[in-house]
Structure 1
Amino acid sequence: MITAAVLAALATACALGSWRFTTARWTSRAPKLAIIVWQSLGVAWGLATTGAMLAYAVTPYDVGVLPGLIAFARGETPSEAWDPLHVLAMIAGLTSLAVLVVVLLTAGVQALRARRRHRVLLALISRDDPGVPGVRVLDHPSAAAYCVPGLRSQVVVSAGALELLSSDEMAAVLAHEAAHVRERHDLVLLPFAALRRALPWSKVVADAQAQVELLIEMAADDRARRYCSPRRLATALLRFGTAGALPTPQGMLGVHAHHVMARVDRLIKPAPELSASVRYGYLALSVSLLTATPFLWVYQL
């Protein structure tokens, strides 16, 4: 019972923390750190929520969640008699866990299929351009720039983008897209997309997904400005924002007009970095969340 209560309290704390975190102002100063915190909150909330129900369900075995589930799967007789509440908690916990796993796998499979289809389409309608080696060019008048993530990643730009941007601005955009590819931001977004699919009614989940989408764009901006002028990247973003850029295909990561001014402002007038104590504090919080929940799954309090 103590383990179930602690897991329920942890799930509640993660939910409240996520709600408060959606309005945090420091995240744009350290987008990578903010992404880590979001990931730890999401993982801890999922494990704590399902773990609280399962911990109560296996109370008759007088062991932890995972040993109790193993004993239940083996058909072992518990030391105490089952009651209807334990049975309901077992059904609810296993159902919730199955839903989270299934939506995560479904989102991953759908993303892989969308990218495979898009690669086939690109092979038919795109071309190479000596002016942008290693990049596929679409003959479309509107501006577009995106990457197809994965083991066989590709960066794609449109002919309209090549006409719209100067060579320096295009180099900045390509550095941004290369950052998405190198840091596998598609994998960062996948759990949040899956959680949104599982809880479409939750405003906190919707806000969290929107926050992470913006944070990975900022993280890619930070990576790109190591290789190009921040002002060139800011100018390219403004051009995309005012030119009516094409929407990024589903499952891809690309330049779009969302939150352009917020990204431009931080590129031109970067805020001071977070202090080391604040950074280490949030890292410690993330590590604690990611270790506490598995510990409570294995050991009984």
Structure 2
Amino acid sequence: MTAWAALALIALATVPAAGLLAKARWTWRTPRAGIVLWQALGLAWGLATIGALVGFALEPLGRGVLHGLFLLPDDGSLLSLPRQLVLLAGMAFAGSLIGSLLLSGFRVLRARARHRALLRLIADRGMRADALVLDHPQAAAYCVPGVRSKIVISKGTLELLDDGELEAVLAHELAHARERHDLVLLPFTSLPRIGLVARILDSVALLIEMRADDRALRHRSPKELAKALLRFATAPSASAPSCALAVAHEGSAVMARVQRLLNPAPRPLLARSAALLTSVLLVLTPLALWSFH
């Protein structure tokens, strides 16, 4: 089997694999490994798809994908018109992925800059040393990530939660800021939110929230965080800006997190190790096939 055919098979296989992973529940027990596996699966899909298109187009050069690209300026005339079109399609696909990622990142950075400017005008910096407080009656708690991340809560949140619950929420948001979960989400949010992509984004977002929950439990009790999530889910709450990571959303995702906090399951060491090993193989295999000829 040629390298480009193997890459095509990998690209095709990642689609049903993503569907299965989106339905998986073992990842809830080890969310960090699940996040890494999602990142590896997405990267493998991109590398394999681009490699398959470019590898097929450059097959007459007989040097594989990577070496063929270096030979292209001198030997490109050896390619037939159909293969030249496939090569253009592969390069256009690669460009669209990179362009979408850069555009999404630019929009997020611009939205965060605007929101930070707004916070400088309306947020109370003296009420709490660990968060900015908004004078709003509804509950809101979110993190605006960045080099200097900001944790924002509303006065409605201060009235809704007791001290322990509030500290649990702040620990959750601090976990988002320290682990830069916004960067984890960025490649997935740069794709159109339709069909399988929407389910993938929901799955990754839930795992990120669960990972932040786990970090918060290093400092607060599961009961405190679970009660805070339930209060947010049942009380009138203000939606967080699109450029931020909120502590809770309405729906089944919150209940899944609450159940996980109150009924913790043993962390599967074997599944976690297998997920990390699979992640490494998912990334290295397409890269190796890019160099194969």
What range is the shorter-chain TM-score in?
over 0.9
The worse-fitting range, judged by mean Cα deviation, of 276-285 and 203-212 is 276-285
Percent identity between matched residues is: 47
- The answer to whether residue 69 in structure 2 is matched with residue 76 in structure 1 is no
Contact 1:146/1:255 (8 A) holds in 2: yes
Give 1:173's aligned residue: 169
Give 2:110's aligned residue: 113
User: Equivalences for 1:1-301 in 2 at 5 Å?
Assistant: 2-72=2-72, 75-77=73-75, 81-130=78-127, 132-194=128-190, 196-197=191-192, 200-201=193-194, 203-258=195-250, 259-274=253-268, 276-300=269-293
The worse-fitting range, judged by mean Cα deviation, of 179-188 and 8-17 is 8-17
Moved over 4 A (4+): none
SS at match of 1:142: coil
Name the aligned partner's letter for residue 228 of structure 1: R
In 2, the alpha carbon distance for the partners of 1:120 and 1:298 equals 48
The CA deviation at 1:238 is 0.4
Report the TM-score when normalising by structure 1: 0.93
Name the aligned partner's letter for residue 96 of structure 1: F
SS at match of 2:69: helix
SS at match of 1:32: helix
Contact 1:128/1:134 (8 A) holds in 2: no
Gaps of 5+ in 2: none
Gaps of 5+ in 1: none
In 2, the alpha carbon distance for the partners of 1:143 and 1:206 equals 27
The CA deviation at 1:209 is 0.4
In 2, the alpha carbon distance for the partners of 1:77 and 1:96 equals 22
The CA deviation at 1:33 is 0.6
The CA deviation at 1:278 is 2.2
Aligned length: 291
SS at match of 1:162: helix
In 2, the alpha carbon distance for the partners of 1:280 and 1:14 equals 20
Report the TM-score when normalising by structure 2: 0.96
Name the aligned partner's letter for residue 75 of structure 2: T
The two structures, once aligned, show a CA RMSD in angstroms of 1.3
Name the aligned partner's letter for residue 134 of structure 1: D
